[in-house]
Amino acid sequence: MNKTASRRQFLQTAAAYAVGFAGLQMFATGCSTASKSSAKKVGYGALRPDPDKILDLPKGFKYSIISRTGDSMTDGLLVPSAPDGMATFAGPNGLTILIRNHEVGTTSGGAAGAFGKDFKLRSKLKDEQFYDAGRKGKPCQGGTSTIVFNTRTQAVVSQYLSLTGTVRNCAGGPTPWNSWITCEESVELAGVDLDKNHGFNFEVPASVTPMLADPVPLKAMGRFNHEAVAVDPKSGIVYETEDRPDSLIYRFIPTEAGKFAKGGKLQALVFVEQKSIDTRNWKTATVAPGKRFAVSWVDIENVDGRADDLRYRGFTAGAARFARGEGMWYGNGEIYFACTSGGKNQKGQIWRYRPSPYEGSAREKEAPGEVELFIEPNDDALVDNADNLTVSPWGDLVICEDGKEDQFLVGVTPQGEIYKLGHNPYTISEFAGVTFSPDGTTLFVNIQKAGMTLAITGPWKKAAV
């Protein structure tokens, strides 16, 4: 039996018994036996095959495809390909504003972007509306699009291009100020095709009115291979992941809360008890799940340089090394983040950071923040390379897999119990951009390579008290 068939058969059997996943999770994270709390049923039960073979979901749940690559948008442009990270915002009259990244590359081709084959729709925009209009008349095609959605009718009201001229917009994160920080997963430099350096974050306002964001690079947040961010609404501090096998976890303390373009201080996470620790657990189990480690932060200088060396300089200065930091989200008063290739079997880790009550201030040493390896399954039947993630209204994580076989949406309770929420039988393409509507009724997610954005409804749990 091949590995793919083996994994699928196991999951079909085990999905009906959430207690099995809970017990396996306890074993995988270092506990010898499952506790009484893990003996309860978690999740929503077995996944039911979708007749259309797009998305298998538990009983009582359904989905609709609300947007596809190549669809005509309200502004006359086309939905770009490779939909990735997303977040939602409350709009007027109960509408939901969904901002969506597009992990599209540089200037080659044209069909993958908003301007169609041979850039036929390029003339609709002026050069100054792009961050990088490129050279030879071919602009960079990464950026964001915005969908205005009615959760009561489950219908798209409008959709439009909201940022353009960037490269490989992978993930990002929402701010408390009704905007989305979108991240370039690229460190390409100006040259033959590009007019500007890349590797920055950009801010996109949430709006029901079609508009292109002012493409201002947030250079003080650092120039590196960005993945995602999370903003703590209490402090206004921005936390950032870096998609490299030897990455750091960063925080950005803005000079003025909510005014990121005005600059600030970039720092990297340090384990107080062991400087320059390697948390990847590839050869040696350096970090055990469940143990909390006090944290300090080291300043990073020259943050927008050309050398792409922030992670090296930070590690030398004592910062911890992580295995491909990807998805990141604020919830439950904590910052959760995925390290996609962490663990002995490189199947991924989920971490959580508890900020200090004095986060970012001179008193931080009195009660430092703490970081914890939340789960490290080391078993692709549980989680196969966690990528984007979100915190549900009731406190569970919902994780997008980006493995090599069948792709699942995976739920994780605050106690670390794991269950399957969805399965993509259509393609082995990763899930991306998982996020809930502000009213908690609808879960949005992308099937990236298929270019689909889906809305999922069903008997969700109630919001955590």
Q: Whose CA is closest to 308, among 224, 239, 369?
A: 224
State which amino acid sits at residue 191.
G
pLDDT band, very low/low/confident/very high, at 32 (cuts 50, 70, 90): very low
Residue 253 pLDDT more than 50?
yes
Residue 383 pLDDT more than 90?
yes
State which amino acid sits at residue 386.
A
What pLDDT is recorded for position 112? 87
d(CA 277, CA 322) in angstroms, rounded, equals: 9
Whether the CB-CB separation of 296 and 255 falls below 8 Å is answered with no
Whether the CB-CB separation of 447 and 427 falls below 8 Å is answered with yes
d(CA 19, CA 25) in angstroms, rounded, equals: 10
Task: Report the pLDDT averaged over residues 435-439.
Answer: 98
Numbers of helices and strands, H then E, in the chain: 3, 26
| Residues 6 or more apart whose Cβ sits within 8 Å of residue 128 | none
Query: Global pTM?
Result: 0.92
Q: How far is CA 367 from CA 250, 332, 370, 398, 451, in A?
A: 19, 19, 9, 30, 45
Residue 241 pLDDT more than 50?
yes
Residue 12 pLDDT more than 60?
no
Residue 17 pLDDT more than 90?
no
Q: Whose CA is closest to 349, among 358, 339, 357, 359?
A: 339
Residue 147 pLDDT more than 50?
yes
d(CA 229, CA 179) in angstroms, rounded, equals: 12
Residue 239 pLDDT more than 50?
yes
pLDDT digits (tens, 9 = 90+) for 385-419: 999 999 999 999 999 999 988 999 999 999 999 99
**Comparison of pLDDT for 14 and 269, the residue scoring more:** 269
State which amino acid sits at residue 304.
D
Beta bridge mates, 336: 329, 352
Q: How far is CA 464 from the centre of its chain?
A: 22
DSSP H or E run through 228: strand 226-231
Task: Report the pLDDT averaged over residues 182-190.
Answer: 96
The label of the residue with tokens 């008290």 reads 465
Residue count of the chain = 465
Whether the CB-CB separation of 69 and 79 falls below 8 Å is answered with yes
| Residues 6 or more apart whose Cβ sits within 8 Å of residue 290 | 29, 30, 372, 373
What is the C-alpha end-to-end distance of the chain, expressed in Å? Answer: 46
pLDDT digits (tens, 9 = 90+) for 316-326: 999 999 999 99
What pLDDT is recorded for position 106? 74
Q: Whose CA is closest to 294, among 372, 217, 237?
A: 372
What pLDDT is recorded for position 33? 29
d(CA 292, CA 196) in angstroms, rounded, equals: 42
Task: Report the pLDDT averaged over residues 355-383.
Answer: 97
With H, G, I as helix, E, B as strand and everything else as coil, classify residue 150: strand
| Strand pairing class (370-375; 386-391) | unpaired
| Number of other CB atoms surrounding residue 36 within 10 Å | 6
Give me 323's structure tokens: 């295995």
